[in-house]
Amino acid sequence: MKEINRKIGAGVLWNLAGLFMTRGANTLFMLLLARLLAPEAFGLIAMASLVFELASAFINSGLGSALIQSKKVTDTDLNTVFYTNLLLSGVAYTGLFVGAPFIASFYSQPELSSLIQVMGLIIFINAACIVQVAVLSRKMDFKSQMKAKTISVMVSGSLAITAAWYNWGVWSLVVQMLSAALVTALILWLVSPWRPGLDISGESFNRLFRFGRNLLAEGMLQVLFENSYVLVIGRLFNAEATGLYFLAKKINNLVSQQLTAAVQQATFPALSTLQDDNNTLKHKLRQIMQLMMFLITPIMALLAGLAPSLFALLFNERWVLAVPFLQLLCVVGALYPLHALNMNLLNVKGRSDLVLKVGLVKKAVNLTLLFLAIPYGVFGIVASQVIGSFLALIPNTYFSAKLVDYSLFEQIQDVVKPFFAAICAGVGAWLLMNQIEGGGIELISAGFFGVIIYLTVSFFIRAEGMNLILFKLMRKDSCIVE
């Protein structure tokens, strides 16, 4: 058990280190690009992302997750997944290349055709890395993956800024995406010892795909669902509105989804070894949930409270209309760890069938809300995501209660305190910023004031995440999750 604790702790730390380095650099580059490019450029990339991400989900086929989740993996399994992904990437790219003009016509954006055809090359690059990531993840080697991500972000961001400076426009963002994928792939192949052989097996494919097929269906449906908002906004409104929404979504995801993904990636292999021990699995999942909510809710609350001042300081007036979108999406971001960790539990238990079933229910509800919100404009569409996120807690937690007895009521108990403390922090920071109306120093001061409020309120209401951290610090224990 101590070895599992050590692996989880080390994996989380390396993933968080990578997150702060890569996302910090990514944020900086995104801010610079937003200053150099118009919202329309981001809108075009957002429109192209639907087909690109759909093709990426298709080639992954859930086989990468199946490799990580499996108790035992052979070289034949690895070879089979590698060549399957390469084959699927060829099929996916052919579909993208042929379909690009039709997609451009759908959005009434002729430039989209060539953008999609060039961006599609990333599919081949990512397909060649899926097995390498699985091999490193099974070994809990997140340090190497962190290095690859960090270097790729620095190189791709620098190239994108250079391209934008020389007026490449939307193609600057394409340069960033292509170079990031290429650099990541090169480094992963250098650090991973695995190399493909010729031994492949239909039995290996069938066994892994039995687990992965549900994740494939869920992944593709998830891509369609997440991009349905961009699809509707891009089709019914314009590229500028799409770009404003896309930037707000991107900023929100930098915190909520990426921080959660870093923890999920580190804990999934270790928790998979406990899939038959429900009591221990629930105990660890609950601790991870408490810690994630303790960390993410104040960040999202402060981001929402300080968003008007932040945009005024960092962006030009073209981006101001994205502020209310970001504030609403911060609510969705604060709830995201609850959804993601419950789904992670189903994967740990090998129940990808339930991941698909729950996903279908959630998507049906959210798409209904989306179409009902269309008459209320982009703001109404974004607001529908907030409503859908709250409603999604019901199906997301249903099977957690069935499998490990971690009910919705218990989960609400684990998150209500950090939510209350975060609201106090966000409101406090917003009120202070409205009083001082300053620049960068004042913004930092307001953020620091909000953090003090959050920690103080959390201490007095005995938030579980804070109690867990303080208990471990007093014991001088390096592993928070025990």
Residues 156/125, Cβ–Cβ less than 8 Å: no
Which uninterrupted H or E stretch holds 10? Answer: helix 2-36
**What distance in Å separates the CA atoms of residue 374 and residue 113, rounded to the nearest whole number?**
27
Q: Quick one: pLDDT at residue 16? A: 54
Residues 406/397, Cβ–Cβ less than 8 Å: yes
Q: Quick one: pLDDT at residue 61? A: 56
Phi-psi category of residue 307: left, alpha or beta, with phi > 0 → left and psi -120 to 50 → alpha: alpha
Pure H helices in 120-238: 121-127, 130-138, 142-165, 171-191, 202-236
Residues 392/362, Cβ–Cβ less than 8 Å: yes
- State the burial class of residue 83 (Cβ atoms within 10 Å of its Cβ: 0-12, 13-18, 19+): middle
Q: Quick one: pLDDT at residue 303? A: 93
Find, among 284, 11, 2, the residue nearest to 140 by Cα: 11
Tell me the three state secondary structure of residue 274.
coil
- State the burial class of residue 192 (Cβ atoms within 10 Å of its Cβ: 0-12, 13-18, 19+): buried
Strand stretches in 265-384, DSSP E:
none
Q: Which residues of 346-359 are buried (b: 16+ CB within 10 A; e: fewer)?
A: bbbbbbbbbbbbbb
Q: Residue 330 is which amino acid?
A: C
Query: Can you read off the two tokens belonging to residue 325?
Result: 């979108």
Q: Quick one: pLDDT at residue 478? A: 47
Q: Which residues of 215-226 are buried (b: 16+ CB within 10 A; e: fewer)?
A: bbbbbbbbbbbb
Q: How far is CA 466 from CA 159, 226, 295, 328, 470, in A?
A: 41, 33, 9, 26, 6
Residues 182/125, Cβ–Cβ less than 8 Å: yes
Tell me the three state secondary structure of residue 108.
coil
Instruction: Count Cβ atoms below 10 Å from residue 98 Cβ, excluding itself.
Output: 10
Chunked mean pLDDT (size 10), the chain, 482 residues: 52 54 63 77 80 65 70 82 85 86 87 88 86 81 78 89 89 89 91 86 78 68 78 86 88 76 67 76 84 90 92 83 94 90 82 80 90 93 94 88 88 91 94 78 89 93 83 58 52
- Provide CB contacts within 8 A for 137, sequence distance 6+: 68, 145, 265, 268, 269
- Residue the block writes with tokens 């989380």: 12
**What distance in Å separates the CA atoms of residue 286 and residue 405, rounded to the nearest whole number?**
11
Q: Quick one: pLDDT at residue 202? A: 81
Q: Residue 67 is which amino acid?
A: L
pTM for the full predicted model: 0.72
**What distance in Å separates the CA atoms of residue 285 and residue 271, rounded to the nearest whole number?**
9
Find, among 365, 281, 379, the residue nearest to 328 by Cα: 379
Find, among 55, 167, 38, 37, the residue nearest to 100 by Cα: 55
Residues 264/340, Cβ–Cβ less than 8 Å: yes
- State the burial class of residue 76 (Cβ atoms within 10 Å of its Cβ: 0-12, 13-18, 19+): middle
